[in-house]
Structure 1
Amino acid sequence: MQTDTDMNNASNYPLLATPHVRLHGAVDGMMYANFQQQLANAPADGPLVVSITTLGGDPEMARAMADDIRLLRQYTGRECLFLGKVAVYSAGATFMSGFPTDKRFLTRHSRIMIHERQMQSTIQLNGPLNTLAPTLRAKLHEIEDSIRIQDEGFADLVRGSQVTLAQLKEKAPSNWYIEAEEARDLGLVLDII
């Protein structure tokens, strides 16, 4: 149940009312270009607020945006705040992992959705037998490396929260939907506005 504190919490975080970078839609190359442009146009001083609403998209573009935020924080010492609005699904959660848990916020009635990376692939085996095993090994290496990348992102997402990596990995295969209040209670975000 929503409390008066939840409803009036926005006054505690006035900077979140006007994000410097506003992202919405599919996480893809166009969003990344838009992100870079808005980042370049944002004021150079003071905290930077980035908001996102997304149903997901390309996890590598999300990782690239998260890395830009990490580099900005590390090389300039600038405070970067994350504001998830309405839906922070899939690649949106990957992007959120680029912000420390105490710099993450959600708007009321928002949800996060976390799942495992997906792969759809067909392997065609055609040719001399000696050439088939390397094809299979290459696909296995791709899967293994993708799992390592996924687990690195999962670790970043839960670092500083009450959720363990093992818990996340247990819930992710079945699409873990987390409402704003639960995300706050689990420490995945600092607060709700």
Structure 2
Amino acid sequence: MDTTPLPHTTFHAPAVLLSGPVDHDMYRQFRRQLDAAAERTVVVVELSTLGGDPEVARMMGEDIRFNSEIAPERRFAFLGKAAIYSAGTTFMSFFARNNRYLTRGTRLMIHERKLSKELKINGPLTTCVATVKAALHEIEASIAIQNEGFAHLIKGSRVTMDEVLARAPSNWYIEAEEARGLGLIEAVL
């Protein structure tokens, strides 16, 4: 895998341009543009987002991971512009650290996943226990998925898991130069 920093000119005409909420519409746009870039050896994905669905971000990220593995001669680079919040940061975590770039003044935002759910307990007691356990398992699985994403994001950086876990509950905003200094990205353009 080539780890040489990419020159600024690489980012002149990104193969994939995405902005707005990370949702299924964005995923369709992403796949269409990614598939159209099949002949490119360097594929730049440019994103600006205030966040969205973390599972869609993971789907997009898995496409990047899969393509990187099946075509190691190709390089997939991330360019974040203006705001890379929440699900956008999750998506960015799937790119190798040396392939992550932000434009000047861009902000990353890292936070814990959120859950809004009412738990209604009604019926035979054994059914009530199963309902409560199912809700607990959902929360535990979501925490595990969230922490896997945090681990990908900080791999190769100076940020520890303890630091992410301490700061994420209150929305951790990181300016581009700070992200570079922490080793979360390769460079600021």
Specify the TM-score bucket, using the shorter chain as the normaliser: over 0.9
Structure 1 residues without counterparts, runs of 5 or longer: 1-10
SS of 1:56's equivalent in the other structure is coil
State the partner residue of 2:21.
Answer: 26
Q: Is structure 2 residue 105 aligned with structure 1 residue 109?
A: yes
Per the normalisation by structure 1, the TM-score is 0.93
Q: Which of 79, 82, 104 is residue 78 of structure 2 equivalent to?
A: 82
Q: Give the drift of 1:46.
A: 1.2
2:161 aligned with 1:169: no
Q: How does 1:174-189 map to 2 (within 5 A)?
A: 174-189=170-185
Provide the rounded CA distance (Å) in 2 between the counterparts of 1:27 and 1:20: 18
Shift of 1:38: 0.5
Tell me the SS of whatever aligns to 2:80. strand
Q: Which residue in 1 is equivalent to 2:186?
A: 190
Contact 1:100-1:160 within 8 A present in 2 as well: no
Q: Which residue of 1 aligns with 2:41?
A: 46
Whole-angstrom distance in 2 between the partners of 1:19 and 1:98: 18
Question: Displacement of 1:43 after TM fit?
Answer: 4.5
Provide structure 2 residue ranges, at least 5 long, that are not aligned to the other structure: 1-5
What's the C-alpha RMSD, in Å, of the aligned pairs? 1.0
TM superposition score normalised by structure 2: 0.95
Task: Give 1:165 deviation, angstroms.
Answer: 1.3
For 1:25-74, what per-residue CA distance to the aligned partner results, in whole angstroms no more than 9, with x for missing partners? 00000000110000111151311100100000000000010010001111
Q: How far 1:18 moved relative to its partner?
A: 1.2
Identity %: 51
Other structure's SS at 1:132 match: helix
Partner of residue 93, structure 2 = 97
Aligned residues: 183
Amino acid at match of 1:33: R
